[in-house]
C-alpha cells in the first residue's frame, strides 16, 4: 500500500513539474515571439506594402516634376509604391473622357488629378468618387482651413486642391516705357485697359503691334465673370449669370477694341489662323495679354519663346461702376486650380489619402505650380520659377499682382453646377453670334439667358 502511495506521489510530482515547465516555456516562448530578431516589439512590424495608381494628364515637362515628387513621397512612405499613369499627355479634356471610360469599366481607380472644381462635381454626382470626410476627420483637419477651393456635394467633400491658378495681365515692359505708361496696379478698370491698348498699338500690316491679344477661351469672352465672380455660370441663388451686366459690357468692349480702336486682333482672324497666345505675346505682336500663373516660367524661357524685352505683371482689371456684377464682392479675385480626387473603387483609400495630402502640401523643389494649400510658401515658388532669368521679369510687379496687400481672393462657391459643359457651349455660341454677325447685344444676351435657363431647369434641379 505504501509502495503504491509512493508511486502515486512520484507521478503527481512529475506531472506538476511538467505543468510548471510548460508554463515557463510558454512564457518564454511568448516573450520571444513578441520580439523580432532586433528585439523590437511585434507591434512595430513593417506595414503591408501596397501599390496605388496616380492618374493625370502631364506633358513631358510636368512628368519630370511629378516623378520627382512621387519619389519623395515613396521615401517618406516606404510601404506605399505609386505608379504614375498619364492618360492623355497635355490634354485634360481627352484625359477626362478616358478616365470616365476607366471608371465605367469598373477599374480600381486610386488617385486622379482633374483640371477643375467642376470636373470633380460632375463625377461625384455620378458616385464615381469617394468622399474624403472620414479621412479629414481622422487627421483632425478642416478643409476650409487647408485649401482655397473645396468641392462638395450634399455636404460631403470630394476634391483636394492640388494647384492654385491665378489670373493676371502680362505686359511688355519695354513697350510701356516706350509710350510712357506706368505698370498698372490694383484698382485699374477695363476702361483703363482699353485706353492702355490704344496707346500701345503701333504700326500696320504684318509689322503691327496690337495693344492687346484675346484668345479663344471663355476667359476672354467675359473676363469679369471669370475673374471676380465665384461661379462663371450661376449666381448664388442658382440662376444664370448670363443676364449679368458684365456680359453686355464686355462683349461690346471686345467688339469696339477690334472694330473701332483697332487695338486687338480680330476674333475671326484668331479663329482662322489658330494662333498661339504665347507666341502672340513673346513675338511682340501684342503688348498685353490676360492669362494665368501657369505662364510665370515663360518670360525666362527664351529658348522656346525668343524675345529680348522684360515682362511686367498687373492684376486683372476690375469692372467699371456702370457694369458691376450682381454678386460682386468688392474686387476680390477668383482662384481656380486642379484638384485631386479618390476613386470610389480604390482598394487602398488610406494610402491614397496620404498621397493626396503629400501632393497638395509638400514644399517640394519639384513643384512647378502654386499649391492649393493656404499654408504653402508661395513666394518661394516665385523665386524658383524665375530662377536665374530675373532680367526678364519685373519681379516686384509680379509679387504685388499675386500677393500684394490689396489682393484678396474669393471663397469657394456653394453652387454646384453639373452642366458646365452645356453652359460653356452657350457662352461660346453667344459670343460668336455677336462678334461674327450683326446681331445686337440685347438679342444675343436674351438668347443666351433663355438657353441657359432651360439647361439649368432641366439638369440642375434633378
Greater model confidence, 29 or 112: 112
pLDDT on residue 46 = 56
Beta bridge partners of 289: 170, 213
pLDDT on residue 366 = 78
User: What is the DSSP-derived secondary structure letter of residue 39?
Assistant: S
Query: pLDDT exceeding 90 applies to what percent of the chain?
Result: 74
User: What is the DSSP-derived secondary structure letter of residue 208?
Assistant: -
Residue 423, all three cell numbers:
453652359
The three-state secondary structure class of 419 is: coil
pLDDT digits (tens, 9 = 90+) for 418-427: 788 899 999 9
pLDDT digits (tens, 9 = 90+) for 250-274: 999 999 999 999 999 999 999 999 9
Residue 100, all three cell numbers:
470616365
> Locate cell 477599374: which residue?
107
The three-state secondary structure class of 341 is: strand
Mean pLDDT of the 190-213 span: 97
DSSP 298-340: GGG-TTTS---SPEEEEPPPBPPGGG--TT--TT-B--B--EE
Least trusted range by pLDDT, from 37-51, 113-127, 148-162, 208-222? 37-51
Residue 455, all three cell numbers:
439647361
Q: Rounded to whole angstroms, how far apart are CA atoms 124 and 118?
A: 10
- Say if domain 50-164+337-376 classifies as CATH 3.40.190.10: yes
Query: pLDDT exceeding 70 applies to what percent of the chain?
Result: 89
pLDDT on residue 453 = 96
Please, are residues 55 and 85 in contact by the beta-carbon 8 Å criterion? Answer: yes
Does pLDDT of 43 surpass 70?
A: no
Which strands sit side by side in the sheet containing 288-292, from one edge to the other?
A: 288-292, 167-172, 311-314
pLDDT digits (tens, 9 = 90+) for 386-415: 989 999 999 999 999 999 999 998 877 777
pLDDT digits (tens, 9 = 90+) for 161-186: 999 999 999 999 999 999 999 999 99
- CA 361 distance to own-chain centroid: 13
> Locate cell 501599390: which residue?
51
**In 3D, which of 229, 122, 218 has the Cα closest to residue 424?**
218
**Number of other residues whose CB lies within 10 A of the CB of residue 89:** 14
Beta bridge partners of 213: 289
Please, are residues 287 and 170 in contact by the beta-carbon 8 Å criterion? Answer: no
Q: How confident is the model at residue 14 (pLDDT cuts 50, 70, 90)?
A: very low
Does pLDDT of 10 surpass 80?
A: no
Please give the C-alpha separations between residue 5 and each of 1, 10, 16, 18, in angstroms, as whole numbers. Answer: 6, 9, 16, 20
Q: Rounded to whole angstroms, how far apart are CA atoms 197 and 189?
A: 12
Q: How confident is the model at residue 277 (pLDDT cuts 50, 70, 90)?
A: very high
Mean pLDDT of the 446-462 span: 89
Beta strands in 121-204 (DSSP E): 152-153, 156-157, 160-161, 167-172
**In 3D, which of 162, 63, 65 has the Cα closest to residue 120?**
162
> What CATH class has 167-334+396-460?
alpha beta
Please work out, in degrees rounded to the nearest 5, the angle formed at the alpha carbon of residue 229 by the alpha carbons of 218 and 189: 80
pLDDT on residue 19 = 38
Q: How confident is the model at residue 28 (pLDDT cuts 50, 70, 90)?
A: very low
Please, are residues 307 and 170 in contact by the beta-carbon 8 Å criterion? Answer: no
User: What is the DSSP-derived secondary structure letter of residue 456?
Assistant: I
Q: Rounded to whole angstroms, how far apart are CA atoms 28 and 442?
A: 90
Does pLDDT of 118 surpass 90?
A: no
Q: Choose the most confident range, by mean pLDDT, from 33-37, 39-43, 264-268, 408-412.
A: 264-268
pLDDT on residue 419 = 82
Please, are residues 286 and 265 in contact by the beta-carbon 8 Å criterion? Answer: yes
pLDDT digits (tens, 9 = 90+) for 55-71: 999 998 889 989 999 99
Could you tell me where in the chain the CATH 3.40.190.10 domains are found? 50-164+337-376, 167-334+396-460
Q: Rounded to whole angstroms, how far apart are CA atoms 456 and 256?
A: 31
User: What is the DSSP-derived secondary structure letter of residue 244?
Assistant: S
pLDDT on residue 38 = 34
**Number of other residues whose CB lies within 10 A of the CB of residue 13:** 10
Residue 117, all three cell numbers:
472644381
* 305 Cβ contact partners less than 8 Å away, ≥ 6 residues apart: 278, 279, 282, 298, 299
Strand-pair category, 111-114 with 50-56: parallel
pLDDT on residue 16 = 39
Q: For residue 348, report the phi and psi dihedrals to the nearest 5 degrees.
A: -135, 65
Amino acid at each position: 500500500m505504501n509502495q503504491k502511495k509512493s508511486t502515486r506521489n512520484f507521478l503527481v510530482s512529475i506531472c506538476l513539474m511538467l505543468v510548471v515547465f510548460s508554463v515557463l516555456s510558454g512564457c518564454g516562448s511568448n516573450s520571444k515571439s513578441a520580439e523580432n530578431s532586433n528585439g523590437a516589439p511585434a507591434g512595430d512590424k513593417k506595414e503591408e506594402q501596397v501599390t496605388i495608381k496616380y492618374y493625370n494628364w502631364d506633358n513631358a515637362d510636368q512628368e519630370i516634376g511629378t516623378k520627382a515628387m512621387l519619389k519623395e513621397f515613396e521615401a517618406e512612405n516606404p510601404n506605399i509604391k505609386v505608379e504614375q499613369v498619364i492618360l492623355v499627355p497635355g490634354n485634360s479634356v481627352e484625359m477626362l473622357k478616358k478616365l470616365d471610360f476607366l471608371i465605367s469599366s469598373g477599374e480600381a481607380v486610386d488617385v486622379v488629378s482633374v483640371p477643375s472644381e467642376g470636373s470633380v462635381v460632375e463625377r461625384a454626382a455620378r458616385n464615381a468618387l469617394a468622399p474624403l470626410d472620414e479621412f479629414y476627420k481622422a487627421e483632425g483637419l478642416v478643409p476650409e482651413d487647408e485649401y482655397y477651393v473645396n468641392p462638395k456635394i450634399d455636404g460631403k467633400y470630394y476634391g483636394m486642391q492640388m494647384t492654385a491658378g491665378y489670373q493676371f495681365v502680362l505686359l511688355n515692359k519695354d513697350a510701356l516705357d516706350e509710350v510712357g505708361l506706368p505698370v498698372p496696379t490694383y484698382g485699374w478698370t477695363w476702361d483703363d485697359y482699353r485706353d492702355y491698348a490704344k496707346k500701345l498699338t503701333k504700326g500696320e500690316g504684318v509689322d503691327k503691334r496690337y495693344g492687346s491679344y484675346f484668345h479663344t477661351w471663355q476667359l476672354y469672352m467675359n473676363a469679369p465673370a471669370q475673374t471676380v465672380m465665384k461661379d462663371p455660370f450661376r449666381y448664388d441663388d442658382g440662376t444664370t449669370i448670363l443676364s449679368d451686366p458684365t456680359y453686355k459690357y464686355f462683349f461690346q468692349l471686345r467688339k469696339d477694341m477690334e472694330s473701332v480702336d483697332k487695338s486687338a486682333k480680330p476674333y475671326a482672324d484668331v479663329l482662322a489662323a489658330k494662333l498661339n497666345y504665347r507666341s502672340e505675346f513673346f513675338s511682340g505682336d501684342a503688348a498685353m495679354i490676360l492669362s494665368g500663373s501657369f505662364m510665370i516660367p515663360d518670360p525666362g524661357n527664351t529658348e522656346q519663346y525668343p524675345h529680348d524685352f522684360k515682362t511686367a505683371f498687373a492684376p486683372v482689371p476690375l469692372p467699371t461702376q456702370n457694369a458691376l456684377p450682381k454678386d460682386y464682392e468688392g474686387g476680390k479675385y477668383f482662384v481656380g486650380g486642379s484638384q485631386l480626387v479618390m476613386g470610389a473603387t480604390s482598394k487602398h483609400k488610406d494610402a491614397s489619402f496620404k498621397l493626396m495630402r503629400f501632393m497638395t502640401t509638400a514644399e517640394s523643389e519639384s513643384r512647378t505650380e502654386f499649391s492649393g494649400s493656404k499654408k504653402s510658401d508661395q513666394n518661394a515658388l516665385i523665386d524658383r520659377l524665375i530662377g536665374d532669368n530675373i532680367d526678364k521679369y519685373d519681379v516686384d510687379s509680379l509679387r504685388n499682382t499675386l500677393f500684394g496687400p490689396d489682393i484678396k481672393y474669393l471663397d469657394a462657391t456653394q453652387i454646384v453646377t453639373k452642366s458646365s459643359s452645356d453652359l460653356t457651349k452657350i457662352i461660346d455660341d453667344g459670343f460668336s453670334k455677336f462678334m461674327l454677325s450683326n446681331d445686337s447685344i440685347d438679342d444675343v444676351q436674351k438668347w443666351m439667358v433663355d438657353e441657359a435657363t432651360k439647361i439649368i431647369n432641366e439638369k440642375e434641379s434633378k
